[in-house]
A and B are shown apart, each in its own frame.
Chain A
Amino acid sequence: MIGRVIVGLLVGFMTLPTIVVVIASFNPTAILAFPPAGLSLRWYENALTYPQFRRAAVNSVIVTGASALLALPIGTAAALALVRHPLRGRGLWSAVFLSPLIIPGVAIGLGFLILAARFGLLANHAVLISAHTVLVLPFVIRSVAVSAANLDPQLERAAASLGARPGRVFRRVTLPLLRPGLFAALLFAVIVSVNEFVVSLFVSTRVTEILPVAMFTYVVNYTDPTMAALSTLFIGATFVAVFLTDRFLGLSGILHIEDHR
């Protein structure tokens, strides 16, 4: 009985902020009051028509798309190397690749800021894209490494013995068998990149800033429920993405170890 109460409280505590945001987004007045005085969709309209949000959304698509596109092949190569080859200093390599998980975003952001200023790239998407690539790499490597570890090297030998040259072995055997890991990697990369804030704040300008940064800037200047509306849309979109992935690709299959043998 007590156990159930504790679990109930915990679940409530975890979901409460989300619920508060969702409810507050329907507030008709221009203050972030809770509970709301009525029901209105005006802040949704504002969120969707505010020019800076539109620009930031486009930036988000560019940055997330490009960094995912870069991180996937780099991360796949790194994961295969780490899993397959008895590299000298394997532990060190894997620590380097996974370090963005541990190093504070402030440090990474500052580093990219200094580099960007040095090369005069501050107004360019390239800085945000490279920063995001670095940040999502650990997730890509981890996901692909799980699939790679489950891939029986004998399968590649079998393909080779049947006359497939190395490139063909990769395309016809390795890549298809890494597919679950690659999907998981893509999902993680998109979620991490879309939500990334700390590092992005350092290297964003008004022109290149992505949605979370634009939202932060907005909330600093205005206190109306537009933010709550946008957040609700964000939450909804993430839910839909995860739901669709689970429905059509089997999220459990992607996130868990799949045995091919």
Chain B
Amino acid sequence: MTAKTVVALEGVEKAYGSVRALAGIDLGVIEGELLALLGPSGCGKTTTLNVIAGFAAPDRGRVLIDGADVTTRPAWQRGLGIVFQSYALFPHMTVAENVAFGLRERGVAPAEIAASVTEALALVRLPGVATLRPAQLSGGMQQRVALARALVIRPRVLLLDEPLAALDRKLRESMRAELKEIQRVVGITTIFVTHDQHEALGLADRIAVMNAGRIEQLGPPREVYERPATRFVADFIGASTLLEAHALDARTVEIGGGLRVDVRLPRPLVAGERVRLLIRPERVELGEGAGMLAARVSGVMYLGDHTEVQVELSSGVRLLATVRAAPPLGPGDPIGVRLPADAFLEIA
């Protein structure tokens, strides 16, 4: 059984004036998955969502839903459920009227509408607010109403635009778990836009990392984090240190100042070639003892559950390391650094 592609973008390009918002997007969203479009502001993720929703027409390329070309089909005929960043609840209607909106437009019988609205509000755990106006609800509750309104029409795909951005941190974390649970229960194919890497890593089945109107990498969270395809992805998701190195033999490189380290990369290196290596701070080991590289602490940032330590090797190379429990360190303290051979990633 092969996974079915629900939404497909083929060579989608879109420019606003002289600004190229999308520079050729190819993307397939698989049945039942939760896909995150992740990137900094202006990367084209919201434009991608608007193109799928039918709010923006692509200059070039096609949009397919279940294999049907919907590129020129207006938004109201696409049958997608959308939750907007501002929630976009109708202020002149009650919560129940908001949720019922899409069903009324479809000419559903009133009795059936009432039952569906109650069911949808129960799904998002928001009973007893049906007669209130959106303005009387908290941000988190409005978000649930928006979700119920989008889900009640049983859309083919659910689109979420920065769904958690407007909530405060505590609420955002609980809502994140709940969103995932609702998505799992309903089993709906979902695409969400976010600039928050934690949100993408924690929520998505697959992440499309976007930059300058292109998808830099598409893959499961673990793959995107542990094997970033480009320097941009490595930089955008998680912290890291980039090292310019040149190979001495298949498994040894020099990382500046004559410092030699062993590396284990998926491919053997050719002596003399230049490589760009990346190391995640949690893979940099600090301590004392034989076989460690001599270094000095140049900066310490205590962050509660972990500490970020900036170290400078005797060769002058600077590295970022995170440690769970560190003895109190201060700038200038001598320290030993170990760089495990399998901690290095090669970046194009």
Contacts and interface: CB of A to CB of B under 8 A. Distances in A.
Interface in A144-173: 152, 154-155, 157-166, 168-169, 172-173
The residue among B54, B75, B77, B79 with the most chain A CB atoms within 10 A of its own CB is B75
A152 to B, nearest CB: 6
B75 A157 contact: yes
A162 B102 CA distance: 5
Given A161-B75, A163-B76, A261 B86 contact: yes
Interface string A168-181: 11001100110000
A40 B249 CA distance: 117
Nearest to B99: A162
**Dominant SS among interface residues on chain B:** loop
User: What secondary structure prevails in chain A residues at the interface with B?
Assistant: helix
Contacts of B153: 162-163
Nearest to B102: A162
Contact of A176 (B55, B92, B101, B149): B92
B267 interface: no
Range of interface residues on chain B? Answer: 20 to 34
B79 A157 contact: no
Contacts of B106: 163
A260 interface: yes
Contacts of B149: 158, 162
A160 B76 contact: yes
A228 B88 CA distance: 54
A258 to B, nearest CB: 10
B269 interface: no
B92 A159 contact: no
Interface string B86-123: 10111110000000011001100000000000000000
Given A157-B75, A161-B80, A164-B105, 16 more contacts: A154-B88, A155-B88, A157-B82, A158-B89, A160-B54, A160-B55, A161-B76, A161-B82, A162-B101, A162-B149, A163-B106, A164-B76, A166-B76, A173-B90, A177-B91, A260-B91
